[in-house]
Amino acid sequence: VTDKKVSKAVIKRLPRYYRYLQTIKNEGIVRISSMELSTRMNVTASQIRQDLNCFGGFGQQGYGYNVEQLYAAIGEILGLDKQYKTVIIGAGNLGRALANYAGFERRGFNLVGAFDVSDDIIGTMLNGVEVMHIDRADEMFPVLKPDIAILTIPQRYAAATAAKLARLGIKGIWNFTHAELNAPEGVYVEDAHLSDGLMTLSHHITSGK
């Protein structure tokens, strides 16, 4: 599988395909046409064909897509065939919820560390790891070698913490703070922006659509 031709817009849509294919696979379906997938996902069949053509013709005329193959191919493009060491920075309610979010571990995101500044939280266990003071990050990162940091701290600490994480060699930050972070050199930042969904919801309720 080559991802040379996979555009950024297609990449954004792949997680949704992946989720649907997983469901279809779990239902025991072996192959599916772009038309059936279109109905399920509420996307046009031509959009689906266009998106999935990037993967080099898993869909065959009159056969459709091999669900297992397509699922595996998309998983590979998404890097879900790999294992990632993950740390939580900010082990409050949101950090704890994310650490326990079903499916993360199954998809290869393994929690190896958790950090906070609150005396109430430090020393407690979170999904098998002990929460440490953030000041111990310098000492612990070379041991834990985390790939991804999940950032659930107050906005005012976001930029400085991201810079520190970059210095300590983190490759990706999943940002749940309200700050849009300028990605430090060599670090990919994925902003979560939870409130955007709530704003969209608000619009639809108000406009009655």
Does position 205 bind a copy of itself by CB under 8 A? yes
The strand ranges marked E within 55-157 are 65-66, 84-89, 109-116, 125-126, 129-133, 148-151
| Cβ closest to a copy of itself, residue 12 vs residue 120 | 12
Q: Which of 16, 136, 156, 167 is close enough to bind a copy of itself by CB under 8 A?
A: 16
Binding a copy of itself by CB under 8 A: which of 64, 113, 146, 172? 172
Helix (H, G, I), strand (E, B) or coil at 188: strand
C-alpha span between 46 and 72 (Å, rounded): 22
Q: Is the Cβ of residue 125 or residue 205 nearer to a copy of itself in the bound state? A: 205
Q: Is 190 in the site for a copy of itself (CB under 8 A)?
A: yes
CA 63 to chain centre: 31
Distance CA 45, CA 67 (A): 16
Q: Which of 14, 54, 165, 166 binds a copy of itself (CB under 8 A)?
A: 14
Binding mask 31-70 for a copy of itself (x = CB under 8 A): ----------------------------------------
Residue 143 vs 205, nearer CB to a copy of itself: 205
The residue length of the chain stands at 209
Q: Contact at 8 Å (CB) between 70 and 103?
A: no
Applying CB under 8 A, which part among 28-36, 52-60, 110-118, 193-201 lies near a copy of itself?
193-201
> What span, in angstroms and rounded, lies between the C-alpha atoms of 178 and 195?
9
Minimum distance from residue 153 beta carbon to a copy of itself (Å): 12
Chain positions 67 to 106 lying near a copy of itself, rule: CB under 8 A, are 77-80, 82, 84, 92-94, 96-98, 100-104
| Residues at the site binding a copy of itself, with contacts judged by CB under 8 A | 3, 11-12, 14-16, 18-19, 77-80, 82, 84, 92-94, 96-98, 100-104, 107-109, 147-148, 152, 155, 171-172, 174, 178, 180, 188, 190-207, 209
